Structure 1
Amino acid sequence: MSLAVQFSEYGATDVLRVVDVPPPTAGPGQVRLAVRAAGVNPIDWKILHGHLSQVMPLDLPGGLGSDVAGVVDQVGEGVTTFSVGDEVLGASITPSYARSALADPAVLVARPPSVPWEVAGALAGAGITAWEALNKLEVAEGETLLVHAAAGGVGTFAVQLAVARGARVIGTASEGNHERLRSLGAEPVTYGKGLVERVRAVSPRGVDAVLDASGRGEIPDSIELAGGPARVLSLVAFDAAGSGIRIHRTEPGAGGRRALGEILALIEAGRLRVPIQRAYPLGEVAAALEVSRSGHLSGKLVLLPG
């Protein structure tokens, strides 16, 4: 038997249970991982609370988590890219808030020994999303990118990936996170009323592109600063689709491997940092999700199921 986090009804964290379950079996084209770390993302508590039940219905009891890092302990028929004993990271097929999870080798990469397990387990969701968003915005060297919620999970990756591409980055965040954004290479501004004036104070001509990871109503200001909606992309402002901006949805597949490869290369070169706010044992999953839901984070949250 193995341990996994499950819930039999949608609700708050008090519906979560850590239960004994049979470990899954790797089918054709799959590998099974002994999970060493699983990243905690906002989508996890949204699923738990039922906010996404209309678009992502679950067969209950269900589990949570997709960011994963672990050791391959079973290989399905037809898999040639990984072997038992390989240390990998990426996204899982079955919930990663567990000691055992299945994954598609197409969205896994090898874990470099220099990358700690808790960092490896926190890369896939936010890292791939940021990488894909910058590609869709076609952020290039010499351009100016505005990132809303720049100190958040996706924002932290987006800032550093854009800086690595040679872009200038302006990031919105509360004043308490300004110094942190400077350390990542961004020029911080406070969000809220008067945003256009504050951005123009540091970039009088406006910006070339905007990545919105906030959803606090910045879309009209973003369109004004970017000179139109064509290069404004939001991860969360679904109600603003009619304004002409782009709404991003992560597209798992080969692009994820390329994204993770670039992120790992930057980490190993010392050009990208992934701060970990806290790592929790599996039994403290409720506390981890409550902190995630609070939205006031200084780094990634990770579960360590092993």
Structure 2
Amino acid sequence: MSKAYVFTRYGGPEAEALVEIERPAPGPGQLLVAVRAAGVNPVDWKQRTGHARPGESARELPAVFGNEVAGVVEEVGPDVTGFAVGDEVFGNPVAGGYAEYALLPVTVTAHKPAGVSFTDAAALPVAAATAYDGVRQLDLPAGATLLVTGAGGGVGVAAAQIARAFGVRVIGVASAGKKDLVESLGAVHVPSGPDFAAGVRAAAPEGVDAVYDLVGGDVLRTAAGLLSDRTKLITAGGKDIVAELGGAPVARARTAAVLDEVVRLVVDGALRSYVTETFPLDRAAEALRTVEEGHATGKIVIEVAEAAV
């Protein structure tokens, strides 16, 4: 048996529990990984409420939280090549990562370089990979100006750094309390609020070339109004309305190749995970509340103690 943090039904935080579950066994194309760290993301609590991506089937309950982990390979499933027991890896689990053990499909698993900690690696498969996919989707030339809304969260922090690594100027909209963080990314900070568009115009009198939105709603609508070319409008926060605005959702690749590219940026010093707070597994509820209630700055990670054999 092993520990895992789960939701037992769809609903609010009252549906969560730390429980003992059977240690999973890897199937074809899968790895069993002893989890050392698990990233916390907004999608985690949204899944507890019943949110699912298009085409995604309902989770079997109880369902383990978490969509990104880093750890050590314990077992290798059938038809797996390129991985061995003892390898340090990171990636997207099959069904949850707030646990002592998780199954990872090799299609979205990459080797963790020795110089990257488990905690930092666990912050990459969702937030940083989403950021990378979006920046690549926009395909901006060096010298272009990118507006990032929600620049103080996990995806925004990564998007700003990745865009800067590609020679793109970044304007980041975030709360006043995140000014230092946004500016540390090499971006120009604009305070969030009803008048943020005026701040963007002041920071970029010549206009912005693209928008990477992470907020949705009225923020997305306002940001869209700052663009002359709506094909350069993408969002991970307002997928329900972006089409009517002339833009598109972030197109996720979800491949090991993207994870390799992202971690290479970390090794090269172009990307930091900005993990600002960590929690042990038995305090997973606190970690999730920090993200769900909007108090997180940068990335929140759950650090899992080495499981007993």
Sort the TM-score into its range (normalised by shorter chain): over 0.9
Alignment partner, residue 4 of structure 2: 4
Cα displacement (A) at 1:191: 2.1
The 1:117/1:302 distance shift into structure 2, 3 A limit, reads same
**8 A contact 2:63–2:95 mirrored in 1:** no
| CA displacement at 1:200 relative to structure 2 | 1.7
Deviation at 1:249, TM superposition (A): 4.7
Counterpart position of 2:257: 258
Amino acid at match of 1:200: R
Equivalent residue, structure 2, for 1:130: 131
Per-residue CA deviations over 1:117-145 (Å, capped at 9, x if unaligned) read 11111111001111111111112211110
Residue 200 in 1 paired to residue 198 in 2?
no
Cα distance between partner residues in 2 of 1:298 and 1:223: 25
Q: Of the candidates 245, 249, 257, which is equivalent to residue 243 of structure 1? A: 245
CA contact (8 A) 1:14 1:286 kept: no
Structure 1 residue 233 and structure 2 residue 200: aligned?
no
Alignment-mate amino acid for residue 37 of structure 1: A
User: Alpha-carbon deviations, 1:49-73, whole Å to 9, x = none?
Assistant: 3344996522222121120101001
The number of residues matched between the two structures is 303
Query: Deviation string for 1:57-109 (max 9, x for gaps)?
Result: 22222121120101001011121110000000111112111111111112111
Superposed, which structure 2 residues align to 1:1-306 within 5 Å? Answer: 1-52=1-52, 57-240=58-241, 241-253=243-255, 257-306=256-305
Contact 1:235 1:247 in 2 (8 A): yes
Q: Shift in Å at residue 170 of structure 1?
A: 0.5
* C-alpha contact 1:230 1:245 (8 A) present in aligned 2: yes
- Unaligned stretches of 5+ residues in structure 2: none
Q: Do 1:127 and 1:259's aligned partners in 2 also have CA atoms closer than 8 Å?
A: no
Kindly indicate whether the alpha-carbon contact (under 8 Å) linking 2:239 and 2:248 is maintained by their aligned counterparts in 1: no
Contact 2:39–2:122 (Cα < 8 Å) also in 1: yes
Aligned partners of 2:186, 2:53: CA distance in 1, in Å?
38
150 and 56 in structure 1: CA distance in 2 versus 1, 3 angstrom threshold: farther
Structure 1 stretch displaced more, 285-294 or 232-241: 232-241
Per the normalisation by structure 2, the TM-score is 0.93
Q: Is the 1:3–1:18 contact (alpha carbons within 8 Å) kept by the matching residues of 2?
A: yes
After TM superposition, which residue ranges in structure 1, 4 or more long, deviate above 6 angstroms?
Answer: none
| Shift of residue 226, structure 1, vs aligned partner | 1.7
Q: Are the counterparts in 2 of residues 12 and 48 from structure 1 also a CA contact under 8 Å?
A: yes
CA–CA distance in 2 between the matches of 1:293 and 1:269? 32
In the aligned structure 1, how far is the partner of 2:196 from the partner of 2:269? 32
Q: Which runs of 5+ in 1 are unaligned?
A: none
Whole-angstrom CA distance in 1 between matches of 2:17 and 2:177: 35
Q: Secondary structure at the match of 1:238?
A: coil
TM-score calculated relative to the size of structure 1 = 0.93
Deviation, structure 1 residue 179: 1.5
Deviations 1:156-202 (A, max 9, x none): 00000000000000010111111211111100111223333221212
Q: CA RMSD in A?
A: 1.7
Query: Helix, strand or coil for the counterpart of 2:225?
Result: helix
Question: How far apart are the structure 2 equivalents of 1:207 and 1:24?
Answer: 48
CA offsets 1:214-246 (integer angstroms, 9 cap, x no match): 124123332332213111111121332212111
What secondary structure sits across from 1:230 in the alignment? helix
> Which is worse superposed, 174-183 or 192-201?
192-201
Q: Partner letter of residue 252 of structure 2?
A: T
Name which of structure 1's ranges 137-146 and 6-15 shifts more when overlaid on structure 2: 6-15
